[in-house]
Structures are given as structure tokens and as C-alpha cells.
Amino acid sequence: MKIRIVTVGKLKEKYWADAVEEYRKRLTRFADISIVETEEASRLPTPDAIRRKEGEGILAKLKGYVILTDLGGDMPDSEGFAALFEKARERGVSEISVVIGGSHGVSEEVRKAADVRVSFGRMTYPHQLMRVIVAEQIYRAMTISAGTAYHK
């Protein structure tokens, strides 16, 4: 299975990049994992214009089954998140895109393109930190499915 984490912008701080890379490396034994960065549009005049422009970049990179991180999404536990990947695999899905929007969120077009929307809680997190959280939760999901000891 191929898993793509599609995200807006580049990680500027080394500690975030190191954490994401650690989980990316761990995931290689379960899936072909890649991080796909789209262009940040922070210089546009309004949040709506930013979401639209960033949304165009996200939509251009989506492949396969699309999981969107979204405050308005369902809030599964780790086993429920793992089940999303298992069900996709059972249906013959070969590629999953997990989307992390920019600091202003995502456009309505990106929401409509999602097969499922998932919330990691009602709190707001910096999108750089969300990369680490999403990478860790994908790793956790894979270990749950594989029955390894990581998830307790």
C-alpha cells in the first residue's frame, strides 16, 4: 500500500522534520510512505483566498482514498483510525492520501474531495505539529493492524 501525507508548506524547524522522518522510516516496513508538500499561500490578502489557492495545490496531489484531517470530522480512537486503513485495503485500495491543511484550514473543494474526514480532537494544533501527530498515528495504525507491541 502507498500512503501519501499531503501537506501545505515546508517544515522550517529541524526538530519537527526529524520527528516526521523518524516515523516515515518506521513506516517503511508496512507501506510505501511519502510526504508531499504543496505550496503555502500565506501572502494572499484573505484567509479565504489562501484556502482556495492552497486547496488547488492539495487537489492536484491527491491520489486514491482521501483522509482529511479536519476539526469537523469524526473523532476515532487509534483502533478506529487503524480500521480506516484496514477497510481501504480490504476494498482493494492501493493508495491513500492523508491531508493536512495549512494554518487557515482547507477549502470546501478539498473537503468535498475527501472520502472521510478525521478530527484529532477539538483543540487546534499548529499544522507543523499535525505532521508529527499524523505520522505517529499512521504508524500506530499500522502496528495495530500488524498486531505488534507498539500500541498498548
127 pLDDT more than 90: no
Residue 124: per-residue pLDDT = 87
Q: Is 123 known as a binding-site position? A: yes
Residue 151: per-residue pLDDT = 79
Q: Is residue 86 included in any domain, yes or no?
A: yes
Residue 132 near residue 24, CB atoms below 8 Å: no
Q: Is residue 71 included in any domain, yes or no?
A: yes
Q: Is 147 known as a binding-site position? A: no
Q: Is 30 known as a binding-site position? A: no
Q: Is residue 151 included in any domain, yes or no?
A: no
Instruction: Please give the share of the chain, as a percent, with pLDDT higher than 70.
Output: 100
Q: Across residues 27-52, what is the average pLDDT? A: 96
Cell digits for 56?
A: 488547488
Q: Is 130 known as a binding-site position? A: no
Q: What's the total number of domains in the chain?
A: 1
> Domain span at residue 52?
2-146
Residue 149: per-residue pLDDT = 87
Q: Is 125 known as a binding-site position? A: yes
Residue 58 near residue 8, CB atoms below 8 Å: yes
152 pLDDT more than 80: no
At 123, which CATH number?
Answer: 3.40.1280.10
Measured on CA atoms in the order 64, 68, 69, 73, is the torsion positive or negative?
Answer: negative
Cell digits for 111?
A: 473537503
pTM reported for the whole predicted model: 0.94
Residue 75: per-residue pLDDT = 97
Q: Is residue 74 included in any domain, yes or no?
A: yes
Instruction: Give the C-alpha distances (Å, rounded to integers) separating 98 from 14, 69, 149.
Output: 22, 7, 24
Q: Is residue 152 included in any domain, yes or no?
A: no
Q: Is residue 95 included in any domain, yes or no?
A: yes
Q: Is residue 50 included in any domain, yes or no?
A: yes
Q: Is 75 known as a binding-site position? A: no
Residue 100: per-residue pLDDT = 97
pLDDT in tens, 81-107: 999 999 999 999 999 999 999 999 999
Q: Is 81 known as a binding-site position? A: no
pLDDT in tens, 45-83: 999 999 999 999 999 999 999 999 999 999 999 999 999
Q: Which residues pair with 7 in a beta bridge?
A: 37, 100
